[in-house]
Structure 1
């Protein structure tokens, strides 16, 4: 994809995102409203989109096991690299290590990848298996480390019980439930009335612009403290936005032989920014709150600026 074509594809993304930033900066729409828009997208619109599209998908083509295996291997290597680098920098507290692993390896799917893929490719289907892998595997690793490093006696139960509660909560989020419901009904060939699918599609079509607008509002309200960026923040952002997608290209393309559109999908997914729930985890487990907020904002901006490069480089 050429540079002009890449910018043309990204124009709707920039319009929705930039509109949120502009309205927040001018205080026309309060930045606090981003939570309402985000909740709508995360809890309702994106699950509707995922359910309808997974139900109507060819699961054999959707779950490309070579591609998923390549991405899983990439993520495992990235987890090891971030963990080793953290320990080498004298960060040994389990929660602190887990936070940095999440910042460097997990991707913002609902608020960033889904709208970008819908805009660029006309579908977010390639994200579905990666989303399930991220929630069911990567989040499990992060939650395990967080819970094992937690010492708050007020939470009730031992580490095992707290871990079970946290994992259970992550598996019943609307995103995961909608994916699993779509897969199950698809496999069982259960007939879902057209009116239900039409309703899900109608709501799901709003997921992309609303999620990007909410992200723009959030970032426009907080602003960017570029001068206060630490070396650690720079290292994690560089790893997330540059090293991780390059690692995905090398592992998936060279080791697993993934080619064509699937290789482009995996590299672009890896190039997505640090997820917003990093900040939620930081608050919940009382570790690196300021660091997490800064990483979410700055990685989102850098990922958006780098999108034309990745589109021009990897998209056929």
Structure 2
């Protein structure tokens, strides 16, 4: 269980640094915007190149991915239905809400938990690749279309994800992994150094927003926040467990890996996307906070029941 506490404690400390810097007026909301843009346009694409180039991309074709995908589809689908028929959210806000309810922290939290709790960091690779290559490009394409006020031509819709820096970084990493090519050190070393800025930039920016932004739930619907958090922490792992255990027949440690990765909290980069496009930023911020705290007892319970 030490890996769970270590992963969450590391994130909490770095977020706390952002809160402290904002409280001491060392930085302001403009600095938060700069850090978010740095993470979105520069550091995160570099991180994706390095991370995915070392991943076992063949694992994305495993049957386990079916269960993971089912949890994502059920969670995002339920939120979208509620956003459309109950809260009447716009396209951009609904997209951020759906991502908040289904996009897990597979990188800076999923990797250490997979390493220390599950015993193998590669177990998070299917979820990471699903999000990087399918869910994130799709969400960013919708956000781009919403920001422009129109979807554009079919060609523009199809090519828009490939004009996004995060998608390009992810695809470059996958190409390297599939081909076995290795970047020369003159390129890999700077990319690695830049990529190392991604997670700290996201977390510090998130801490600044916590301190200087609206209070928890004050700028949005408390019911909506409770819904996104509940969907993420309860519905998504429950659907993944049902599909894996009863429809696919996964057992033992493999089943635990699927359910634990589905129960990870909402990823910090959803807040970066929300900030970048100016959509549902408070909902994304608060869902990340609640699910990050709530995931600790949920993952401990899952490890005790299925481990």
* Fold shared, TM-score > 0.5 on shorter chain: yes
Contact 2:265 2:291 in 1 (8 A): no
1:47 to 21, 45, 53: 45
Q: TM-score, length-normalised on structure 2?
A: 0.77
1:307 to 285, 295, 298: 295
Which residue pairs with 2:270 in the alignment? 275
Which residue pairs with 2:234 in the alignment? 242
Distance verdict in 2 for CA 1:23–1:172, change over 3 Å: same
Q: TM-score, length-normalised on structure 1?
A: 0.75
| Matched residue SS, 1:75 | helix
Which is further off, 9-18 or 263-272?
A: 263-272
Which residue pairs with 1:103 in the alignment? 97
Which residue pairs with 1:211 in the alignment? 202
Give how far 1:102 is off: 4.3
Alignment of 1:192-203 (within 5 A): 192-203=183-194
Q: Deviations over 1:199-245 (max 9, x none)?
A: 22222233222221121112221041446644334333332343333
CA distance in 2 between partners of 1:208 and 1:45 (Å)? 8
Give how far 1:302 is off: 0.1
CA distance in 2 between partners of 1:226 and 1:183 (Å)? 38
CA distance in 2 between partners of 1:118 and 1:294 (Å)? 26
2:10 to 12, 30, 33: 12
| Matched residue SS, 1:29 | coil
CA distance in 1 between partners of 2:234 and 2:267 (Å)? 10
Alignment of 1:171-182 (within 5 A): 171-182=162-173
Distance verdict in 2 for CA 1:215–1:167, change over 3 Å: farther
Q: Deviations over 1:166-193 (max 9, x none)?
A: 5533332121111111222333343421
Which residue pairs with 1:129 in the alignment? 130
Aligned: 1:256 with 2:248: yes
Which residue pairs with 2:107 in the alignment? 114
Superposition RMSD on alpha carbons, in Å?
3.4
Distance verdict in 2 for CA 1:269–1:68, change over 3 Å: farther
